[in-house]
Structure 1
Amino acid sequence: MSEFPAAPSASTDRQRIITKPVVAWASWDWGSAAINAVMITFVFTVYLTSDLFGDTDANSVVLGNGLAIAGVAIALLAPVTGLRSDAGGRRRFWLGVNTIIVAVLTAACFFIFPEPRFLVLGVTLIALASVFAEFATVNYNAMIPQISTPATIGKVSGFGWGMGYLGGILALAIVLFTLVTPIFPWAGASETDALNLRLVAVFSAVWFLGFGLPVLFAVPEIPGEPGGPRFTILQSYAELWRRVVALARKDRHTVFFLLASAVFRDGLAAVFTFGGIIAAGTFGFPLQQVIIFAIVGNVVAAFGAMVGGVLDDKIGPKRVIIASLIGLLVAGLGVFLSPGASGFWVFGLLLCLFVGPAQSSSRAFLARLAPAGQEGELFGLYATTGRAVSFLAPALFAASIALAAPHVAEAQRYGILGILAVLLLGLLLLIPVRAPGHGPVPLDRGP
């Protein structure tokens, strides 16, 4: 088993932030964008909910239920998978296993033909892929302390987020111009039996696997806990609960941060989830313009994440998150008050600018708090708390529209206020949380 490499000196580290392990680690984020942006957000789920599979509303219900079940599975299992990989010294191993599983499940979507009888299978594959992708992400996020120092953790996290955004842009552009609306004719672009859309799944699987493998060779495996404790599934939950109680007693601010971040991260996710819907429904963007805005918005978000990472190491992640949330609230109000498309472009891109650093510094915040050897466990809790409130922004978005509908013509616009309410609540919950120092907080594991 490989041991951790010696941490570089502060002066050397400042000169060489983008090292080989960091680039290999960020490459995984670049590759995973094909799953998040192409398969789950913009292309394949749109295919599954189209009239090719029957009634579009019914298809959307099936997809929603499938992803909801996947969310419950993640909430229940993510912290335990992180705990077990930490204890057994198999963080890199499980990152690799889950990455391969996601790639296989994604590639299998090629066999989802445009017939109603394939809908449930297609949703099942997408839901399972999202579950194992989250398991992989737990171990991926937990690697941050291995490839950075306390002085550079913000820049490294920001670089990873930026690579993810840029990878999504390139993957979407390739899919758009070679398969969905090809700029040159070729056999793979055939719409017969939706071949072009089914090939999107093959492309995404290859993209993810190709860019996801380097981290497995560049970042060493972690050592297991002394004595190598091994837990059954039930013992893992008991051990997890004991450690959560110990964490709350030792450093309540970590628990408070998990709660606050769960709320504002749900608002951040909603910015992208509903941004395209608002652009089309409220501001009249045609599909092509929505895609163009999405590409430009991802570029802006990548820039924001990288700049935010630099600021994170200078002023601390809490200040970056607070400033970003305030910026999001101002920009969101700008979108709400904008009378036309030009206002949406200006304030919508400002939203994208602040989303990146808020996401990046949230991850860096937790990485600074994580006790050495328990990063996977804590990032598993990070995933669980996020899933536990993932209904909040969609519910308030829908409720705001429903309340406004009897009184105004453009009710969808009021959904923006629901998202802003979630971001404001997350900001208020974060303000009392103590900012992290430059090292992990030791946690008593008990006798």
Structure 2
Amino acid sequence: MVNHAKAPLDPNPVLRPGVRRREALGWAMFDFANSGYTTVVITAIYGAYFVSVVAGGTTWATLAWTAALAFSNLLVLLSAPVLGAWADVHAGKKRLAALTTIGCVLTTAALGWIGPGSVVLALALLVLSNAFFSSGGNLVAAFLPELARPQRLGTLSGWGWGLGYIGGLLCLALCLAYIHWAQARGHTASEFVPVTLFITAALFALTALPFFIWVRERALPQPKSGVSAWAQVAKTWRESARFQDMRRFLICIVFYQAGIMTVIALAAIYAQEVMGFDTAQTVMMIFVVNITAAIGALGFGYLQDRIGPVRGIALTLLGWIAMVLVAWSSETAASFWLAANLAGLCLGASQSAGRALVGYLAPDAQRAEFFGLWGLAVMLASIVGPLTYGLVTWLTGGDHRTAMLVTGLYFVIGLVLLRGVNAERGYRAAQTVR
């Protein structure tokens, strides 16, 4: 006799058993909260403001900006293994995330007090705020495999990135409204840009609260390994020969993220120096780009779960290569807007897909450690990519177009390396570790 009774539907096919929906929302809200920092400080407003106002438009201003970001990311690279190891031993990801959030909020607000000519102090605060921001992002990312089922990491990661771009939109909208109000009253950039930093800091502090209130720390304290954090990283890297797909993907990340981080750090500067955009035009462009980035992150999470993470990332890298070619050849505002929105779609999709694939390939017992390696790869990319751009502009006497073309090479190399990654093989290898 055939039993035609249907199996009960899974009440939540995305989240792990015991994970409440509000925890997933709280986790995604951290992306919503911290995206204002990247959008305003790194991408849309403060970078161009630093080059043109704080540093007075000198020929070395772009190189100084990229060098400061590189140094900040070097600090994150050096500290990430220590933070990851401490978090594993003490099950303390959430506590460390709270400290880094407070640090980023305070140093972002402090940037608002920096006036024209205070180059050294501005760069010092940039280094600190970016280090706090990046460290916090790494710690929060390590919660992803604790919340989502292995095959649905892309979906939840996409929710996070999508909400992140919505958060960036809200922050930019508030800043843009204030900028228009201030410009209508004759205020200069040195008067209205600092207020946008206060807005960004306040919004970060307020909207990060759901993460700290709702998300549980499920990790259990791990025994100390008896070796230093960096020695443990070296040991993990040597042992990662068993996880050949994770290792190859981490190397791939260094290259394609070098291109992504360059676009994030230099987009406003390129718009200002090459296309002649003013602050309001640049902010409006980044505002629209955040919409396309949110669409890319939210929609691509589902597409990635259907076609697989490797194919998904490959598709985004092809999009990035096309974006670089369009931006490099742009002579009109319309073609540059096309390049910018193509970058937005690729940005949301590739960031979400990359984080999800790391979670998919990471052994359960070493999540924080492997997300620490992911953080190292991203930080190394954040050093190499923008610094390459800054050096090219300096060596070519300010030729931003050539620097943009060089950036495209990082996406090409990443695409080549990605061909050797097999996600299912890597997942099976990770499940052998208990």
The answer to whether the 8 Å contact 1:78/1:134 transfers is: no
Residue 432 (structure 1) aligns with:
420
Measure, in 2, the Cα distance between the counterparts of 1:281 and 1:349: 19
Residue of structure 2 equivalent to 1:79: 81
**Partner residue in 2 for 1:229:** 224
SS of alignment partner, residue 332 of structure 1: helix
Counterpart of 1:229 in 2: which secondary structure?
Answer: coil
Rounded to whole Å, the distance in 2 between the matches of 1:400 and 1:60 is 10
Q: 1:333 to 1:381 in 2, by over 3 A?
A: same
Superposed, which structure 2 residues align to 1:65-144 within 5 Å?
Answer: 65-112=67-114, 114=115, 116=117, 118-144=118-144
Partners of 2:394 and 2:59 lie apart in 1 by: 18
Measured against aligned partners, the alpha-carbon deviations of 1:122-178 in whole angstroms (never above 9, x if no partner) come to 322221111122211111110111221123210111111111112112211211222
Deviation of 1:419 after TM superposition, in Å, equals 1.9
> In the alignment, residue 240 of structure 2 is paired with which amino acid?
L
The answer as to whether partners of 1:94 and 1:139 remain within 8 angstroms in 2 is yes
**Does 1:255 find its partner at 2:247?**
yes
CA contact (8 A) 1:371 1:442 kept: yes
Aligned to 1:390: 382
In structure 2, C-alpha distance between the alignment counterparts of 1:115 and 1:419, rounded to whole Å: 30
1:354-401 CA-partner distances (Å, limit 9, x unpaired)? 222111100000011111132222122112122224354446656777
Counterpart secondary structure, 2:430? coil
Answering whether residue 354 of structure 2 is matched by residue 362 of structure 1, we say yes
Q: CA deviation at 1:311?
A: 1.0
User: Secondary structure of the equivalent of 1:11?
Assistant: coil
Give, as a single letter, the amino acid of the residue that structure 1 aligns with 2:32.
W
Native 8 Å contact 1:80 1:240 kept in 2: no
Distance 2:159 2:147 in 1: 12
- What is the CA distance between 1:183 and its match in structure 2? 6.3
1:202 to 189, 198, 201: 198
Change in CA separation of 1:213 and 1:57 when aligned onto 2, cut-off 3 Å: farther
Residue in 2 that maps onto 1:218: 214
RMSD, aligned CA: 3.3
CA contact (8 A) 2:14 2:156 kept: no
Residue 330 to residue 205, structure 1, CA distance change in 2 (3 Å): closer
Match for residue 313 of structure 1 among 301, 305, 314:
305
> Corresponding residue for 1:5?
none
Gapped runs of 5+ residues in structure 1?
1-8
Identity fraction in percent: 26
Contact conserved, 1:300 with 1:353, CA < 8 A, in 2? yes
Name the TM-score, length of structure 2 as normaliser.
Answer: 0.86
Residues 250-399 of structure 1 correspond to what in structure 2 (within 5 A)? Answer: 250-338=242-330, 340-394=332-386, 397=389
Task: Determine the C-alpha separation between the residues in 2 that align with 1:42 and 1:132.
Answer: 19
**Native 8 Å contact 2:15 2:149 kept in 1:** no
Task: Give the gaps of 5 or more residues in structure 2.
Answer: 1-7
Q: What letter matches 1:256 in structure 2?
A: R
Structure 2 counterpart of 1:239, one-letter code: Q
Partner of 1:13: 12
Question: Aligned pair in 2 of structure 1 residues 99, 403: CA closer, same or farther (>3 Å)?
Answer: closer
Tell me, yes or no, if the aligned pair for 1:262 and 1:382 is still in contact at 8 Å.
no
Measured at CA, do residues 230 and 110 of structure 1 come closer, stay the same or move farther in structure 2, by a change above 3 Å? farther
Alpha carbons of structure 1 residues 224 and 201: separation in structure 2 relative to 1, 3 Å: same
Task: Give the equivalent residue in structure 2 for 1:151.
Answer: 151
2-side partners of 1:16 and 1:241: how far apart?
A: 33
2:154·2:353 contact (CA, 8 Å) conserved in 1?
yes
One-letter identity of the residue aligned with 1:291:
V
